[in-house]
């Protein structure tokens, strides 16, 4: 029987402890796979106690890292509902390729809110969708998804009927439905939709969805339409009326506040890490990059903005080094920042002098102080 077939089998043959010891001494790939399967089978038969947990985690992480892709996928399926598995292994599988990660993201009881939020921030869109679909999603993770404001992930969340979506989060989703048509249908069917929220959603949906809302809630369609027409007429004839710009100052301010809330939540959960800087730039969210850099480094918003718009890349290099970003990736960071800022910071070179984060933070603040004096 192959290793994959053994892992798929509901009751694999248990290997004696001595056989497992012999396998552990072997470096052959097939023996490594058999060892992994044997350890899983033993743990399923008799879940390990707390004292064995650290050693078990190290064994699993070592073996899983050496396992083939198909083995990791089936291992994820096997451990998805296990409450005895090492949390570090579950987190490793949850951040693997989505085909491997999906089972544990959907079902593992060992993934905490902080783990799920980190997955939202540091993995692919497919991983984010899997988190949004996870049954009985907590209020904190729901808020993190809404704060990110990704249309596809929010639509997956709106289709999750067991998620703990508060009235405030529902209202924010309904507001997003003004521009994201895909949100409207799942929101009309969501059990957390109440009469007040339905009235707001009613304004943005088409006739078919209005009928669906009308079947659940008592809404006077004629009265609502008259109120909307009256409000629109008053606004157009007002001397201060201006057409609404979807990317105007109000939208920018709202996005900045939303991203600041996301960064604050990550900081409070102890999950704010330098990786969010890469993620923010990859998604072309300069404001999120700025907010995260401010919080990670304990800098002021003015200092970070000054570094980004400086005539040289040196201040930004120091700020990124100060928060623990690997200097090997700074060239890519700088390139992405310049794409979002019309070429700022200026200058092509920076002093890639090896220094620890504390020294870099001190040098960054000294530069900012000199700049402020000048």
Task: Give tens-digit pLDDT for 142-185.
Answer: 999 999 888 899 999 999 999 999 999 999 998 888 888 888 88
- Residue 302's pLDDT band, with cuts at 50, 70 and 90, is very high
Please count the other Cβ atoms lying within 10 Å of the Cβ belonging to residue 169.
Answer: 19
- Residue 241's pLDDT band, with cuts at 50, 70 and 90, is very low
Q: Which two tokens stand for residue 265?
A: 């939540």
Of 30-34, 218-222, 252-256, 362-366, which has the strongest mean pLDDT? 362-366
Tokens 């072309």 — which residue? 284
Q: What mean pLDDT is predicted for residues 94-111?
A: 94
What is the enclosing helix (H) or strand (E) of 154?
A: helix 151-158
CA distance 34 to 217: 59
With a cut of 90, say whether residue 137 has pLDDT above it: yes
Contact yes or no for 99/120 (Cβ under 8 A): no
Total residue count of the chain as it appears in this document: 374
Q: What is the mean pLDDT of the chain?
A: 77
pLDDT in tens, 306-361: 999 988 888 999 999 899 887 778 888 898 999 998 888 987 666 666 778 888 88
Residue 122's pLDDT is 86
Q: How many CA atoms lie within 13 A of 212 on its CB side?
A: 15
With a cut of 70, say whether residue 259 has pLDDT above it: yes
With a cut of 60, say whether residue 229 has pLDDT above it: no
Q: What mean pLDDT is predicted for residues 112-132?
A: 92
CA distance 127 to 152: 12
Contact residues for 359 (Cβ-Cβ < 8 A; gap 6+): none
Contact residues for 74 (Cβ-Cβ < 8 A; gap 6+): 4, 7, 8
DSSP character for 177? T
Residue 11's pLDDT is 41
Radius of gyration of the chain (CA): 26
């Amino acid at each position: 029987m192959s290793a994959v077939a053994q892992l798929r089998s509901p009751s694999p043959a248990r290997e004696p402890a001595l056989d497992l010891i012999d396998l552990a001494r072997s470096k052959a790939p097939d023996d490594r796979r058999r060892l992994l399967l044997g350890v899983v089978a033993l743990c399923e038969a008799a879940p390990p106690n707390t004292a064995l947990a650290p050693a078990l985690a190290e064994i699993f992480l070592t073996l899983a890292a050496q396992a083939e892709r198909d083995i990791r996928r089936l291992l994820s399926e096997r451990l998805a509902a296990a409450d005895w598995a090492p949390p570090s292994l579950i987190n490793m599988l949850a951040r693997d390729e989505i085909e491997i990660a999906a089972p544990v993201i959907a079902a593992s009881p060992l993934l905490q809110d902080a783990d799920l939020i980190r997955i939202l921030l540091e993995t692919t869109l497919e991983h984010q969708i899997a988190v949004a679909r996870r049954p009985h999603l907590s209020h904190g993770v729901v808020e993190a998804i809404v704060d990110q404001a990704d249309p596809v992930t929010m639509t997956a969340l709106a289709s999750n009927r067991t998620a703990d979506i508060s009235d405030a989060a529902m209202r924010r989703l309904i507001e997003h439905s003004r521009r994201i048509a895909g949100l409207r249908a799942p929101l009309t069917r969501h059990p957390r939709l109440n009469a007040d929220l339905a009235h707001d959603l009613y304004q943005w949906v088409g006739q078919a969805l209005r009928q669906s809302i009308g079947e659940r809630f008592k809404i006077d369609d004629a009265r609502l339409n008259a109120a909307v027409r009256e409000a629109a007429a008053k606004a157009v004839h007002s001397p201060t009326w201006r057409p609404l710009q979807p990317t105007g100052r109000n939208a920018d301010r709202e996005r900045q506040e939303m991203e600041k809330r996301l960064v604050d939540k990550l900081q409070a959960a102890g999950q704010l890490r330098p990786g969010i800087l890469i993620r923010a730039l990859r998604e072309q969210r300069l404001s999120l990059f700025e907010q995260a850099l401010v919080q990670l480094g304990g800098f002021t918003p003015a200092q970070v903005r000054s570094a980004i718009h400086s005539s040289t890349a040196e201040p930004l290099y120091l700020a990124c080094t100060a928060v623990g970003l690997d200097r090997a990736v700074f060239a890519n960071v700088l390139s992405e920042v310049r794409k979002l800022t019309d070429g700022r910071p200026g200058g092509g070179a920076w002093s890639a002098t090896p220094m620890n984060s504390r020294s870099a933070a001190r040098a960054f603040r000294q530069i900012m102080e000199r700049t402020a004096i000048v």
